[in-house]
Amino acid sequence: MNYTKHYFLGFYICAVFPLFSMKLNTIENGNKNDIAQDNITKLVMNMREIHNKIDADYLGVDESTYLKWVVGSWRSFCKSYFFTDEQAVEEMNRIESYITEQKKELALQNLAEKHWYVDYLLNFLAESKIKEFKNIKGSTIDTVYHPIIVEEGYKKIVYMRALRKYLHDEGLMRTRYAYYYEAIENLDNIHWAILYGHQENINGSLPISSDGNYLKSNGDHHEEIIWDIKQATKTNLLENDPKFENIKWISYESYDYRRYLAEVITKDEPAILLMKRPTRVSFILQQAFCNSKNDRQELLALRNSENFKLIQDFPKNNLEKRIRECIQELSSTHELFDVITG
């Protein structure tokens, strides 16, 4: 009898306790949802209050203004059009001070989507930031470009808007063919290398190892070369090397073009043009080099910058070589000028 009682008691506990736990979880989840909904409601109300405050204090618009949204958008454009950088910063600092939420970027993004004036101010400041990116040099690269964003509040929004638009306008996301033709024409481009080593004409097949580290090319007859893609150098490896035991060779036509592009080209001897798709930091370093190549001090600052430490593979070798050659050329020119004028 005691055994039977214990059995039913155990069954009752096992059956009822999960239901009790489910009830607690439901209550807890419900409370969390209620809290989240309350936070959203408070955020919306706060944004509405700030929206109305900007209308009244900055644009002279209130609920009684006829065609409020038309008048407000027109005055937003006119007022922001004649701003200086200092005035725009002052305005955004004041607007940001109205926001009490911890995640100010989220609140400001919401406000920019709803209010023309805030959006105009952010775009105005972003355009100024874009000019800094375009004029970036060795001495300014570490203050202008941050691989890890350190800005907060509206400054973070401005930075991200400017960086995205700058990289888009400068063509960072161009097609692989656009990169190919630019590499042929632009000697300052650090993202390409020409691979020499074949004695025979190269056939069109350029398979890449499945780990993305090696490129294989074959001559018309029996010549075979395996290239180190990252360093853009010829290796002494053969296809039957134990290193490639678990590696597959992928047809280049089906390879992921987001990283590399390789094409057989016609030069004085058989060759391959290897392109590496730029990263943000390598692209901006290249821009800084182009803006600094006629100034020895700027080149030295670029070589010693924190961003220079972040670039990888053969584009880093190319940039280092170009900096060194420019410094030597500028030094020789300076010495010659001293001799002539001395």
Pick the residue with more confidence: 133 or 115? 133
pLDDT at res. 315: 95
Residue ranges covered by each domain of the chain: 9-169, 178-276, 280-341
Q: How confident is the model at residue 107 (pLDDT cuts 50, 70, 90)?
A: confident
Examine the pLDDT at 306 and tell me if it is beyond 80. Answer: yes
Mean pLDDT, to the nearest integer, of 179-187?
Answer: 64
Q: How confident is the model at residue 49 (pLDDT cuts 50, 70, 90)?
A: confident
Locate 68 and state its tokens: 């409020």
Q: How confident is the model at residue 35 (pLDDT cuts 50, 70, 90)?
A: very low
Mean pLDDT rounded to a whole number for the chain: 78
In terms of C-beta distances under 8 Å and separation of at least 24 residues, what long-range contacts does 178-185 make, across chains too? 179/261, 179/275, 179/277, 180/261, 180/263, 180/273, 180/275, 183/273, 183/275, 184/273
Mean pLDDT, to the nearest integer, of 304-323?
Answer: 95
**Lowest-pLDDT range of 31-35, 130-134, 267-271:** 31-35
**How many CB atoms are located within 10 Å of the residue 161 CB?**
18
CB contact set of 195 (below 8 Å; sequence gap of 6+): 215, 217, 227, 232, 234, 271, 272, 273, 274
The Cβ-side half-sphere exposure at 209, using a 13 Å CA radius, reads 22
CB contact set of 279 (below 8 Å; sequence gap of 6+): 311
pLDDT at res. 48: 73
pLDDT at res. 18: 46
Examine the pLDDT at 108 and tell me if it is beyond 50. Answer: yes
**Cα 275 to Cα 268: distance, rounded to the nearest angstrom:** 20
Examine the pLDDT at 12 and tell me if it is beyond 50. Answer: no
The number of angstroms, rounded, from the C-alpha of 77 to the middle of its chain's C-alpha atoms is 30
CB contact set of 213 (below 8 Å; sequence gap of 6+): 228, 229, 230
Examine the pLDDT at 23 and tell me if it is beyond 60. Answer: no
The number of angstroms, rounded, from the C-alpha of 52 to the middle of its chain's C-alpha atoms is 35
The Cβ-side half-sphere exposure at 30, using a 13 Å CA radius, reads 6
Q: 170-184, 215-229, 262-276: which has the highest mean pLDDT?
A: 215-229
pTM of the model: 0.76
Examine the pLDDT at 29 and tell me if it is beyond 70. Answer: no
Examine the pLDDT at 38 and tell me if it is beyond 60. Answer: no
Q: Which value, to the nearest 10 degrees, does the dihedral of the CA atoms of residues 116, 118, 122, 127 take?
A: 40
**Cα 292 to Cα 323: distance, rounded to the nearest angstrom:** 9
Give the tens place of pLDDT for each residue, 233-251.
Answer: 999 998 888 888 888 888 7
Pick the residue with more confidence: 29 or 260? 260
Which of 91, 94, 98, 89 lies closest to 151 in space, CA to CA?
89
**How many CB atoms are located within 10 Å of the residue 130 CB?**
18
pLDDT at res. 238: 87
